Amino acid sequence: DPSAKPLKWAPWQARKAFQRIRADTLVGMALSNLIAIAIIFTTAATLHKAGVTDISSSTAAAKALEPVAGKLAFVIFAAGIIGTGLLAVPVLAGSAAFAVGEALHWKV
């Protein structure tokens, strides 16, 4: 919104801003969780099909994906885990900023 100003100078815009922030947080967390669940189910299905039912580490999981992903199994597995983590960073940073502001009695 081009007419939006910092809430310090336009506190009447806070309700709309908080609705947008809440929606952004909920959508961001929902998407990151859906991607994480997709990774878990895909990995589990692939591993089960390969006969691997006892995984004790992420290294073992990536190694078990080699029949499907080949030599890039470790890279693909790592990219999925890192990508999921990166999706959650902005959402967690925003919610942490609000928590810190509230804890320090700042007007947030």
User: Residue 30 above 90 pLDDT?
Assistant: yes
pTM strictly above 0.85 = no
Q: Domain boundaries in the chain? A: 18-103
User: Residue 4 above 80 pLDDT?
Assistant: no
User: Residue 1 above 70 pLDDT?
Assistant: no
The burial class, CB within 10 Å (0-12 / 13-18 / 19+), for 75 is exposed
Q: Say how many CA atoms lie within 13 Å of 65 toward its Cβ.
A: 22
pLDDT tens by residue, 88-103: 888 888 888 988 988 8
pLDDT tens by residue, 31-70: 988 988 998 898 788 778 878 788 888 888 788 778 778 8
Residues contacting residue 58 through CB under 8 Å, at least 6 positions apart: 77, 81
Q: What mean pLDDT comes out for the span 64-77?
A: 83
